Structure 1
């Protein structure tokens, strides 16, 4: 095969020149040339230069075009340039590690040959190609991360999705309840990071390896600022996830300002509440408040906490989980944090109904119950988002509800308590009930194996009857959402409950392992819930009440994708949907996603991808005549 011989000949000869150069053609270094002394040509420095402690540079030669030291310098610059790109685009790759022993020799030799060939084939590259010293200046172009999935995964809702999130990580499992296409859309932004942030913290101590912050840890803010941040937390987060007892926390806040030596639990909880409150206000005020810096301040006390064996430790874990869900700049893994919380739940027996008859106070009894339900709810939410199994099954728990007492009622043992007279816990308890409905949908609709073992509960005989029954239960739950006055915080909570309702309806009605081909009637209802969800997000955004989080992001993107899917597969929906109505819904979705993109980078890419999908849908859509 003459082509191969001719193409490989010059390359082979050039390698031979580099690897086994004739001693007579070995070039003296510049210092030895000028002194006219014999040079042994050793690299990177000859013996004469080493003994003299002088710099050894390439000499001048009319015959030899390959200057060995310059060639090595070029390779070093190229390696530095490539490592800079890796640091920017693949931050999970640890460049301080050596390659594995079994692959080091074989792969490095082949890679070096390929790189050498590239340079040798273009001699001018040595002079014309620049390899910047600072990789951040060259590595700003986005990289497209490929989707790794089982064959044909796009065709069926229940096929396995294995998604690569980093070059040095095994693929991660994204299951059916997540919305498989959503995983593919989100993947394009997985390797991107906010270029506005300072990257110098990657090699810093423990806390800064977990949090990306423009500033380092911050001290406590002024008291009036702290009050604003704490109020934002208790108005938006606490009424959904009552992790803390507010009067107890306010005492901790006073201690934090009054005492120089801070208790680790006090310092951690105070700074975490400030951090979470800052994320809430940042989105609502559209201002940059240093939430990550307050989180860094909290993490300085993490190692001193008893996380596993105390109720206060579980509270700290949950605060960290809540902040991780609400901040795009945290490198903690939500899935693993969730399971740390589940492990603590079981370790402390929070799943069992231990009451005041066992010798604990009413406050401790109620906080145990509240914290159990918060962990229980997060487990269902996260498992649904990621399409993974539920961590602790319902039948392993005594699903007793909190008594509905307010924080002030719990703190005053002498105050008469009439359950149901205070509305503070109403929204949280209603969302806890939704978590039970979420469990059933996950168990029945999203179970991968349909044949139940003999020791499990009896299987559902008629899946369509079950679906109809679940829809009735969801409708009943929605009809009982607490009625709120004109208070903005209660409007936000009521809207949050409505979004939860429509999210569960879409989970029930869209394709699943149990119902891979839903009826047209089911998809019509699914389409209606998708539209309503988008409108609810829009109402929150227009009132400056939207709280940005990964849960919000997932729900909004999935609503948009569900809307497009239903129009695509159900001719009646496409026929009855006016193009102006469709484009209006999509415009709302993209506007809110763009606003979310101001707080985290992932939505920026999703907006672009959905915009392209929308153009394709609008060109295919036939308006009603």
Structure 2
């Protein structure tokens, strides 16, 4: 029997509905009597999103039986509303609760928990992630077409770089616009020494934004290694493995030890025991490693180890150039054309080094290649054939999740989309025993990955809201969504912070404290558009809704909390300025505190912020910083001195390189900044008595307003500062 197709314009009658139901039932492959929903599904099958097949409810499922793993059922059933439904649903629920209980604290989890207890509502159980319901609300907040366009910034080497509106660069640009609207006569006065120090710091700010992404530093090993004229010693080329001219064993041991002491804990992609066995084998008579990926990985270990020892070991910079050139010129072609685990490790280490060297765009390209190679290897999937032994399975998981975490932080800093947030990722976490074997606390990856899952939503929210920071009404529309994301971060804290602050010996101070710093950092990034709005309204002496002040206060509180934790690390000598991303959090905290002081210079919180912020800046001055962090910290220091949040600091006389000599920058900006320019960011003050008092009468006229011809100069005072200092 056949049916005529139902026309869309025809009225829906009882007969039509009967026909539709009949057609639908006949399309089903399984009869209604045999269709059933699985009542019991084990955790392994749930995480892999596959059918859990078992003979009875109490028996082991076939998947766990084949894998010879424990078959456990602890995860609850998941509700799966769509992303758009979730956004509207939670916004509506938030409004209902606030309207129904106006006198209760509904902004914090503690207040909601107290309200739930009073009403007799059982509190939902928080899982190992951001809560079991996080999967339902971690979808995209908006459609991709609604995300504001970023900017194509001219690159030093030609072409353009994309910068998103959720990036640190855009945040600095917004801060610059706000300063352009302010009259510096209303700001706290500098004494003469403080003003000279401020002018010296701003003298370096002839950098365009492109130099914060691709520094192209003349004299740095990363630039020399990529130069077509670089000379390569064939004896250390990956083409021949270690070659006949092996690095002297004592020096090689020192570089490897420096790598595992300083780099490994932040980027744990190597197993030290397995690495050492292979490394020792390379020094056996007649052994020539033939795998390019391993040779490149070893050379990058040497390069990063030499970067760690720069300033402590003679020839460290030459070693970096030698081995980096070996990887880039002779090994990179093989790394990108073949897929092996060692290739992914080498690409990730090379990306980290390039990132530290100011080549953030190159680092982004390399980490993207590492992701593609990792996906080609199936690192993002645990696989169902289980032919990997436990060691290989765990090292694959470790490399994938380290790659994921590193790429997430880079994508947030640059405002670019992430490529490790694939829906078909089901790689498990490394086993606790394996984490311990590589020097990490147990469940370390679980804590980090669960926190990272909120970054995508933060990027989307910040990208949309930041471009409207001057319009409180537009920000108010996003208040429920921002608070919903904020509650996810709070949920993570409730689960993990008690353990991380317990002081247990199995939790190293740096790793536990830094993880809490990243939680503060993400919260501050999420809420910073509201802080920009509040400061902008303060400068214009305009009113705003109380929700703006509320979220701006959360941003400032998170920055204050991160400063306290960063000072703990600094006092224990644990701040990392050469080979990891600690100074992203430091830069952001200083900029947030400075903006608050700019808008409310006489507020009590501003006075309370001065001492800790000044201490943090002082530690930064005494820390050896890689070029990327020196450039970004320069922007933060300018803002700190402009706003008056930093006390008058003593000038550091420590030189950050053996070759650094005191010198003054020329009046005109370099087309490509030199390494010496970077090193002199915290240089000496000009001699006393050289000043032009009239030039300081109105700081607004000095060019705080954005230059329409080139809006990407951060705080363009280079020429003015140079002239004010008498041509120093």
**TM-score, structure 1 length as denominator?**
0.58
Of residues 504, 517, 520, the one that matches 2:522 is: 504
**Structure of greater relative contact order (alpha carbons < 8 Å, 6+ residues apart):** 2
Secondary structure, in 3 states, of the residue corresponding to 1:172?
strand
Structure 1 equivalent of residue 193 of structure 2: none
Do the aligned partners of 2:533 and 2:548 also contact (CA within 8 Å) in 1?
A: no
Q: Distance in 1 between matches of 2:605 and 2:162?
A: 37
Deviates more, 1:304-313 or 1:558-567: 304-313
Structure 2 equivalent of residue 80 of structure 1: none
State the Cα distance separating 1:575 from its structure 2 match. 1.1
Relative to structure 1, is the Cα distance of residues 315 and 483 closer, same or farther in structure 2, using a 3 angstrom cutoff?
farther
Relative to structure 1, is the Cα distance of residues 279 and 568 closer, same or farther in structure 2, using a 3 angstrom cutoff?
same
Structure 1 equivalent of residue 208 of structure 2: 187
Alignment of 1:334 onto 2:355: no
State the Cα distance separating 1:376 from its structure 2 match. 1.6
Structure 2 equivalent of residue 279 of structure 1: 307
Structure 1 equivalent of residue 456 of structure 2: 439
Q: CA offsets per residue over residues 479-530 of structure 1, 9 Å max, x none?
A: 343755679x922222321221211111222217999996322222321222
Structure 1 equivalent of residue 592 of structure 2: 562
Q: CA offsets per residue over residues 69-128 of structure 1, 9 Å max, x none?
A: xxxxxxxxxxxxxxxxxxxxxxxxxxxxxxxxxxxxxxxxxxxxxxxxxxxxxxxxxxxx
The 5 A counterparts of 1:256-271 are 256-258=282-284, 259=286, 261-263=288-290, 264-271=292-299
Structure 1 equivalent of residue 376 of structure 2: 347
State the Cα distance separating 1:461 from its structure 2 match. 10
Secondary structure, in 3 states, of the residue corresponding to 1:367?
helix
Structure 1 equivalent of residue 401 of structure 2: 373
State the Cα distance separating 1:587 from its structure 2 match. 2.6
Do the aligned partners of 2:380 and 2:425 also contact (CA within 8 Å) in 1?
A: yes
Q: Distance in 1 between matches of 2:232 and 2:465?
A: 39
Which entry has the higher C-alpha Rg, 1 or 2?
Answer: 1
Do the aligned partners of 1:318 and 1:341 also contact (CA within 8 Å) in 2?
A: yes
State the Cα distance separating 1:336 from its structure 2 match. 1.0
Relative to structure 1, is the Cα distance of residues 161 and 513 closer, same or farther in structure 2, using a 3 angstrom cutoff?
farther
Do the aligned partners of 1:271 and 1:298 also contact (CA within 8 Å) in 2?
A: yes
State the Cα distance separating 1:351 from its structure 2 match. 1.9
Q: CA offsets per residue over residues 385-430 of structure 1, 9 Å max, x none?
A: 10112223252312532222327879xxxxxxxxxxx964543442
Relative to structure 1, is the Cα distance of residues 251 and 332 closer, same or farther in structure 2, using a 3 angstrom cutoff?
farther
Q: Distance in 2 between matches of 1:301 and 1:187?
A: 32
The 5 A counterparts of 1:412-423 are none
Alignment of 1:427 onto 2:437: no
Structure 1 equivalent of residue 229 of structure 2: 204
State the Cα distance separating 1:344 from its structure 2 match. 1.5
Do the aligned partners of 2:155 and 2:161 also contact (CA within 8 Å) in 1?
A: yes
Gaps of 5+ in 1: 1-156, 209-216, 411-421, 451-458
Q: Would you say how many aligned residue pairs link Structure 1 and Structure 2?
A: 431
Relative to structure 1, is the Cα distance of residues 332 and 382 closer, same or farther in structure 2, using a 3 angstrom cutoff?
closer
Do the aligned partners of 2:151 and 2:163 also contact (CA within 8 Å) in 1?
A: yes
Q: Distance in 2 between matches of 1:439 and 1:526?
A: 18
Relative to structure 1, is the Cα distance of residues 375 and 608 closer, same or farther in structure 2, using a 3 angstrom cutoff?
closer
Q: CA offsets per residue over residues 24-78 of structure 1, 9 Å max, x none?
A: xxxxxxxxxxxxxxxxxxxxxxxxxxxxxxxxxxxxxxxxxxxxxxxxxxxxxxx
Structure 2 equivalent of residue 238 of structure 1: 264
Deviates more, 1:178-187 or 1:430-439: 178-187
Secondary structure, in 3 states, of the residue corresponding to 1:163?
strand
Q: Distance in 2 between matches of 1:353 and 1:223?
A: 38
Gaps of 5+ in 2: 1-146, 177-204, 234-241, 468-476, 535-544, 648-728
Structure 2 equivalent of residue 164 of structure 1: 154
Structure 1 equivalent of residue 618 of structure 2: 591
Of residues 358, 365, 375, the one that matches 2:386 is: 358
Q: Distance in 2 between matches of 1:620 and 1:362?
A: 52
